[in-house]
Amino acid sequence: MASLVGMQAAAQSAKPVEVAVTIRADQPGVKINRNIYGQFAEHLGYGIYGGVWVGEDSKIPNTRGYRNDVVAALKQLKVPVVRWPGGCFADEYHWRDGIGPRDRRPVKINTIWGGVEEDNSFGTHEFLDFAELIGADAYVAGNVGSGTPQEMSEWVEYITSDTKSTLAEMRRRNGREKPWRLPYFGVGNETWGCGGNMRPEYFADQYRQFQTFIRAPRDNRPERIASGANVDDYYWTEVMLSQAARHMEAYSLHYYTVPGRWEDKGKSTGFPEDQWASTLKNALRMDELVTKHSAIMDRYDPGKRVGLYVDEWGTWYDPEPGRNPGFLWQQNTLRDAQVAALSLSIFHRHAERVRMTAIAQMVNVLQAMILTEEEKMVLTPTYHVFEMYVPFQDATFLPAEFKSPQYTHGDWSIPAVDVSAAKGTDGRLYVALVNSDPNRGAVLTTKIAGATAGKVSGRVLTANAMDAHNTFDRPNAVKPAEFKAQRKGDQIVANLPPKSVVVLTVE
């Protein structure tokens, strides 16, 4: 049997694959809605408490209770939209618990996530002010599972009304004179599961009823987002679209990437190459899901008026030993960076229908951007991908033509290379190149049809180990570095290391 050292040496000496790429700058596609870079923040573990909100009296530096370090890091990402308060938590959340003086708010049990006390100190005002602070749009998810149309309707009025109604006056007494902007409102969450265990026929009627009472001023009327399908439940989509398409502006889809089975997902670090390969293979399934759900939507909404919002996606691993399993805390490695890059590339390709997504989740939960522990904060490899990809927000999609060789490991086989390109709002061209093979480099020779390439600069995210990650002791183990591409006439030659993500800027 070959020794591990021998195998690594062989891997390092493997000859790079060569791939020819053509970027069709002469065939621009649609705008990549910046909301594709959205985030999800739930009352779950340290996602809100400790991660975003520490309260005004905390010794952790904060602005009106929000962690300064986290706020600054999120501003760098230009987070376009944040979904809150859940997830499953949304269907047990009653908004009146989270307004008024904090010391008088009721303490509830977060029955879905760890059975911990929820003191409601982060409520409607705290969320909407937070969204304003980081410059993001607010996406509030309403309670269908254990709420009523009246409760939902009054929440929307409390947030959006500029009248002298009792609810608007209550908001003013609680410290907010002017209404907040409320661009997005979700009607239910996973109503097929934690949101009520409904059948699609039943939820379609519930949806029609609840959305009727989302009444807001004309200039501040939120998009109505219908709770959608779980993974490949195409029947759910069929029923919802056929019964309720005209009552929605968007329809959601949830899909999580798990290396193994739900009962035995796999670890977030210290995993074998087999799970590197299975994770990326499963992440790529997003393309099939989006394609098939979109095809159903096309039948009922050929004009693509209704957006497909993938408002929960990302990796989900086994609970970390020693941590509350209900808190869904996991490390985030170079593998997660690959999942992020490949998923974003899929969303770019489907930008005509996919006009919002929300990665799960923003801080300390699942595939997080940021991990915190008391006063310490660390940025994850996923954060770095989102930061490198900022220029893709609102950019114009440009098709990329290439034929990728396969990366194969055991039973798993995926394209080794992925390319996504766009023309940024600043007029520059951005090309994201992903090499998913952990053992072999890739030489990508790119020509741009319909444009002349000038100066090229780049950044790369890579590391030696598949599970390389940042810790509070070594916060910069994985971070972007300068990447130099070569020019060969009108072509750009990029020598991608194994397991890397590169973004080129072409002037």
Which residues are annotated as catalytic?
Answer: 190, 312
* Site map 344..383 versus ligand AHR, x via CB under 6 A: ----------------xx----x-----------------
In the complex, minimum distance from the CB of residue 88 to ligand AHR, in angstroms, rounded to a whole number: 4
Does 118 interact with ligand AHR (rule: CB under 6 A)?
no
Does 88 interact with ligand AHR (rule: CB under 6 A)?
yes
For ligand AHR, give the closer residue by CB, 46 or 407: 46
In the complex, minimum distance from the CB of residue 149 to ligand AHR, in angstroms, rounded to a whole number: 21
Phi, psi of 332 (to 5 degrees): -135, 120
In the complex, minimum distance from the CB of residue 495 to ligand AHR, in angstroms, rounded to a whole number: 38
What whole-number distance in Å separates Cα of residue 248 and Cα of residue 184?
11
For residue 180, CA distances in Å to 151, 375, 410, 506 come to 18, 30, 53, 39
In the complex, minimum distance from the CB of residue 158 to ligand AHR, in angstroms, rounded to a whole number: 24
Q: Which stretch binds ligand AHR (CB under 6 A): 71-79, 82-90, 115-123, 394-402?
A: 82-90
What whole-number distance in Å separates Cα of residue 227 and Cα of residue 297?
14
For ligand AHR, give the closer residue by CB, 354 or 366: 366
Number of residues this chain uses to bind ligand AHR (CB under 6 A): 10
Q: Which stretch binds ligand AHR (CB under 6 A): 86-94, 417-425, 467-475, 477-485?
A: 86-94
* DSSP assignment of 33-94: -GGGGEEE--SSTTSSBTTTB--TT-SS-EETTEEHHHHHHHHHHT--EEEES-SGGGGG--
Q: Is 109 exposed, middle or buried (0-12, 13-18, 19+ CB in 10 A)?
A: exposed
What whole-number distance in Å separates Cα of residue 156 and Cα of residue 22?
48
Does 453 interact with ligand AHR (rule: CB under 6 A)?
no
In the complex, minimum distance from the CB of residue 190 to ligand AHR, in angstroms, rounded to a whole number: 5
Q: Is 1 helix (H, G, I), strand (E, B) or coil?
A: coil
What whole-number distance in Å separates Cα of residue 316 and Cα of residue 366?
6
What whole-number distance in Å separates Cα of residue 468 and Cα of residue 334?
6
What whole-number distance in Å separates Cα of residue 497 and Cα of residue 389?
19
Q: Which stretch binds ligand AHR (CB under 6 A): 4-12, 80-88, 276-284, 302-310?
A: 80-88
In the complex, minimum distance from the CB of residue 244 to ligand AHR, in angstroms, rounded to a whole number: 20
In the complex, minimum distance from the CB of residue 193 to ligand AHR, in angstroms, rounded to a whole number: 7
For ligand AHR, give the closer residue by CB, 343 or 446: 343
Residues 15-74 that bind ligand AHR (CB under 6 A): 42
For ligand AHR, give the closer residue by CB, 228 or 424: 228
Does 249 interact with ligand AHR (rule: CB under 6 A)?
no
What whole-number distance in Å separates Cα of residue 128 and Cα of residue 55?
15
In the complex, minimum distance from the CB of residue 157 to ligand AHR, in angstroms, rounded to a whole number: 26
Q: Is 248 exposed, middle or buried (0-12, 13-18, 19+ CB in 10 A)?
A: buried
What whole-number distance in Å separates Cα of residue 24 and Cα of residue 21?
10
Fill in the DSSP letter of residue 319: P
The pair of structure tokens assigned to 100 is 């008024």
What whole-number distance in Å separates Cα of residue 249 and Cα of residue 239?
16
Does 87 interact with ligand AHR (rule: CB under 6 A)?
yes
Q: Which stretch binds ligand AHR (CB under 6 A): 29-37, 85-93, 103-111, 335-343?
A: 85-93
For ligand AHR, give the closer residue by CB, 226 or 453: 226
For residue 411, CA distances in Å to 51, 277, 281, 289, 471 come to 39, 9, 10, 21, 32
Q: By the 8 A CB rule, do 150 and 106 touch?
A: no
> Among residues 118, 151, 190, 249, which is the contact residue for ligand AHR, using CB under 6 A?
190
Three-state SS string across 129-146, please?
A: HHHHHHCCEEEEEECCCC
User: Which regions of 286-395 does DSSP assign to beta strands (E)?
Assistant: 307-315, 354-360, 370-373, 376-379
For ligand AHR, give the closer residue by CB, 22 or 252: 252
Residues 128-157 that bind ligand AHR (CB under 6 A): none
Q: Which residue is nearest to ligand AHR (CB)?
A: 87
* Site map 201..230 versus ligand AHR, x via CB under 6 A: ------------------------------
For ligand AHR, give the closer residue by CB, 88 or 289: 88
Angle at which helix 68-77 crosses helix 381-388, to 10 degrees, equals 40
For ligand AHR, give the closer residue by CB, 42 or 223: 42
For ligand AHR, give the closer residue by CB, 73 or 88: 88
Q: By the 8 A CB rule, do 151 and 98 touch?
A: no
Which residues are within 8 A (CB) of 13 and not within 5 positions of it... i.e. 6 or more apart?
none
> Among residues 86, 123, 145, 424, which is the contact residue for ligand AHR, using CB under 6 A?
86
> Among residues 120, 189, 332, 382, which is the contact residue for ligand AHR, using CB under 6 A?
189
In the complex, minimum distance from the CB of residue 109 to ligand AHR, in angstroms, rounded to a whole number: 16
Residues 308-347 that bind ligand AHR (CB under 6 A): 312
Return residues touching ligand AHR (CB under 6 A): 42, 86-88, 189-190, 312, 360-361, 366
